[in-house]
Amino acid sequence: MSTVEPLRHDVVVVGGGGAGLRAAIAIAQSHPQLSVAILSKVHPMRSHTVSAEGGAAAVVGVDDSLDEHAYDTVSGSDWLCDQDAVEAFVAEAPRELRQLEHWGCPWSRTDDGHVAVRAFGGMRKLRTWFAADKTGFHLLHTLFQTCLQYPRITRYDEWYATRILVDDNRAQGVVAVELASGRIETITGRAVILCTGGCGRVFPFTTNGNIKTGDGMALAYRAGAPLKDMEFVQYHPTGLPFTGILITEAARAEGGWLLNKDNYRYLQDYDLGRPEPKPVLRSMDLGPRDRLSQAFVHEQQRGRTVDTPWGPIVYLDLRHLGEKVIDAKLPFVRELCLQYERIDPVHELIPVRPVQHYMMGGVHTDIDGATGLPGLFAAGEVACVSINGANRLGSNSLPELLVFGRRAGMAAAEYAVQGAAEPGPAVLAQAADERSRLERDLLAPREGPDRIADIRTEMHRTMEDSAGIYRDAASLAAGADKLRELRERFGRTTIEDASRSFNTELVAALELGCMLDVAQTMLACALRREESRGAHQRTDFPARDDDRFLAHSMVSRDHAGDPQIGYLPVTITRWPPGERVYGR
């Protein structure tokens, strides 16, 4: 097929969730002369930001301070975050949430009309803004509807990016498939921003939607931009069994508590404080997610969880909150329990177990979203700035995607206007190569020993067995071997669908390829980090080791296609490494 004329824009945003929309709006407002493309594999309002429930943290109260939000974030991260990034984050978060308020986000309110705030895990003050328990949904729809007023933003809904085009050591666009038609097109830009979200779907049991397949991480890695801290995977302590649907931390912030099979508030046995009738900040059920998920594993080992066909569970008890509070503050929790578990949390205990939820690691960026590859920027869960370090605090991810979505948008716009050249023939030749690869490898039916789902299922099992809440060298090494085998088998899977129009088997194959690459980096980084910190717990190295590992893992792909790992020092400004203390 001949090289066709590319679709040209100034900035190409890949991903239309919270970070991508925020970046695009920032560019449209500050640089109205620039043409912005938002490319998304789904309609933007389907993006996974929609599933965030509990809230968004930003200091508002007179009794709160930026330093306290920063300290909570730093200690929550087990000191692996970069403190300059955290200081910028907490300083800009209030302005961003207020901006969302000005754009119409229906934040919950106090009686006098001010924005209401609630408690959240690991936060010492009430600073989490919320829109009932559908905060991400409202935030995403507010951004989506707001972006509709900017004519210089062109949306490519349901386009799947398969490759970042790099020439002259600079990102200059992407190749993408328009799903409806199967057309393969080249979309060029003077800068590219990745906002594709996380990679929860490498695990079998996750709160993440089906679309969270690490696409942006894999595209960046293949293009030569290093990934950072890929071993840090967050398990949320309260997912519904079978579905993995998230029951928000706000349920505990409003006063819910966790019980084991003996109706005992077991968190008191794990250095998280004493049980009180009312929630206490940074204590017990309001401890950080890593510690709560680890406590579950210990309860399981002590035989104090309840076995179900979907694995062991404990209970989340909201009954004492009463119907009025539940309906006012947690209506979605009730709706989800009724629909998916057929239980009513007003009267019954909610069965829960830890569930993969969030990726702390991602594409390495600086404080302005710039990656290791010039012209390529990243923001949101796909990126690792890092404000989350070894464990993200609940309600920090929504303000993160706003603060760093805006920053990445501004930085990409500046990069574009500072005269990056129009993409030349080398870029178009690369695009032609990518087109041939897609047509040869994935759009021709073939019979193989495995189905796509077979490889995916084995990858799931591998990742759960080797990179779950607790890890050790043997299981990580075995997992890495298994992934090598799966990558080889992946090249020979059965492809049944040769149709051009809305070929979801093609998308599933491309996504699986991304997940296998991302999974490989996760296990490699986890094996090399011989310490326990935050969400990365090694049973063979149970202590934190600041001498060797107060540093970010940086992983790049070498010429043989294998992950190469180095380390980057953590930036410490004002809070030297210390003990994480909760409940005392």
For residue 40, the minimal CB distance to other proteins (Å) is: 12
> For residues 94 and 287, which CB has a smaller minimum distance to other proteins in the complex?
94
- The separation between CA 310 and the C-alpha centre of its own chain, rounded to angstroms, equals 24
Tell the burial category of 142 from Cβ atoms under 10 Å away from its Cβ (0-12, 13-18, 19+).
Answer: buried
**Half-sphere CA count of 473, side-chain side, radius 13 A:** 7
Task: Find the helix or strand (DSSP H, E) in which 314 lies.
Answer: strand 314-317
Instruction: Give the helix ranges, DSSP H, for 442-566.
Output: 452-466, 473-490, 504-528, 546-549
> Edge-to-edge strand order for the sheet containing 170-178?
7-8, 184-188, 170-178, 159-167
Q: Taking the complex as a whole, how short is the minimal distance between the CB of residue 147 and other proteins, in angstroms?
A: 9
Helical (H) or strand (E) element with 4: none
Per-residue contact track with other proteins, 250 to 279, x per CB under 8 A?
------------------------------
Stretch that binds other proteins, among 65-73, 74-82, 503-511, 525-533 (CB under 8 A): 503-511
Q: Is 518:230 a contact under the CB 8 Å cutoff?
A: yes
Distances from the Cα of 220 to the Cα of 227, 370, 416, angstroms: 8, 12, 19
Subset of 304-333 contacting other proteins (CB under 8 A): 332
Cα separation, 567 vs 553, in Å, equals 5
Based on the shown chain and the rule CB under 8 A, indicate whether residue 199 belongs to the binding site for other proteins: no
To other proteins, the closest distance from the beta carbon of 477 in angstroms equals 29
Tell whether residue 118 is a contact of other proteins (CB under 8 A).
no
Does residue number 30 form part of the binding site for other proteins (CB under 8 A)? no
In terms of C-beta density within 10 A (0-12 exposed, 13-18 middle, 19 or more buried), how is residue 568 classed?
Answer: middle
Site for other proteins in 43-82 (CB under 8 A): 43, 45-48, 50-51
Choose the binding region for other proteins from 65-73, 75-83, 504-512, 536-544 (rule: CB under 8 A).
504-512
φ, ψ at 138 (rounded to 5°): -70, -40
Helix, strand and coil content of the chain, in percent to the nearest 5, comes to 40, 20, 45
Beta-strand runs (E) in 119-190: 128-129, 153-157, 159-167, 170-178, 184-188
Is residue 44 within 8 Å of 157, Cβ to Cβ?
Answer: yes
Instruction: Choose the binding region for other proteins from 411-419, 434-442, 498-506, 532-540 (rule: CB under 8 A).
Output: 498-506
For the record, the structure tokens of 475 come out as 């299981």
Q: Nearest approach, Cβ of 108 to other proteins (angstroms)?
A: 7
Q: What's the min distance (Å) between Cβ of 496 and other proteins?
A: 4
Annotated catalytic residue within 31, 69, 236, 533 = 236
Check residue 146 for interaction with other proteins (CB under 8 A). yes
Contact 376, 220 (CB under 8 A): yes
Listed in sequence order, the DSSP H helices in 12-82 are 18-30, 66-76
For this structure, is 236 an active site residue?
yes
Distance of alpha carbon 355 from alpha carbon 335, whole angstroms: 19
Nearer to other proteins, 109 or 574 (CB): 109
Q: Is 183 in the site for other proteins (CB under 8 A)?
A: no
How many other CB atoms are there within 10 angstroms of residue 308's CB atom? 12
> How many residues belong to the site for other proteins (CB under 8 A)?
60
**Beta-carbon neighbour count of residue 220 at 10 Å?**
29
The answer to whether residue 439 forms part of the interface with other proteins (CB under 8 A) is no
Residue from 502, 551, 556, 567 touching other proteins (CB under 8 A): that is 502
Beta carbons within 8 Å of 560's beta carbon, 6+ residues apart = none
Separation between Cα atoms, residue 5 and residue 1, nearest integer Å:
12
Distance (Å, rounded) from C-alpha 354 to C-alpha 237?
A: 4
Q: Which is nearer to other proteins, 264 or 502 (CB)?
A: 502
Two structure tokens written together for 389: 């370090």
Applying CB under 8 A, which of residues 3, 276, 340, 492 lies at the interface with other proteins? 340
* Per-residue interface string for the shown chain with other proteins, residues 154-173, x marking contact by CB under 8 A: ---x----------------
* The only residue of 114, 302, 446, 548 in contact with other proteins, by rule CB under 8 A: 114
Q: Name the residue nearer to other proteins (CB basis): 220 or 240.
A: 240
- Tell whether residue 501 is a contact of other proteins (CB under 8 A): yes
Window contacting other proteins (CB under 8 A); options: 3-11, 146-154, 184-192, 229-237: 146-154
User: What is the rounded distance in angstroms from the CA atom of residue 362 to the CA atom of residue 364?
Assistant: 6
Query: Going residue by residue from 474 to 493, which x/- string records binding to other proteins, judged by CB under 8 A?
Result: --------------------
Candidates 161-169, 204-212, 355-363, 380-388: pick the segment binding other proteins (CB under 8 A): 204-212
- Catalytic residue, chosen from 48, 252, 533, 557, is 252
Nearer to other proteins, 446 or 484 (CB): 446
Q: Does 441 bind other proteins (CB under 8 A)?
A: no
Reference 398, options 94, 153, 24; nearest CA is 94
Residue 28 CB neighbour total at 10 angstroms: 22
Tell me, residue by residue from 380 to 419, as one string, x for binding to other proteins by CB under 8 A and - for no binding. ----------------------------------------
Q: Which stretch binds other proteins (CB under 8 A): 238-246, 287-295, 468-476, 560-568?
A: 238-246
Q: Toward other proteins, which CB reaches closer, 453 or 477?
A: 453
- From the list 339, 436, 539, 573, which residue makes contact with other proteins (rule: CB under 8 A)? 339
Query: Binding segment for other proteins among 39-47, 293-301, 424-432, 536-544 (CB under 8 A)?
Result: 39-47
Q: Which residues are marked as active site?
A: 236, 252
The site for other proteins (CB under 8 A) is made up of 42-43, 45-48, 50-51, 95, 98, 101-104, 106, 108-115, 134, 137-138, 141, 145-146, 148-149, 157, 180, 209-211, 242-243, 245-246, 332, 335-336, 339-340, 451-453, 494-497, 499-505, 508
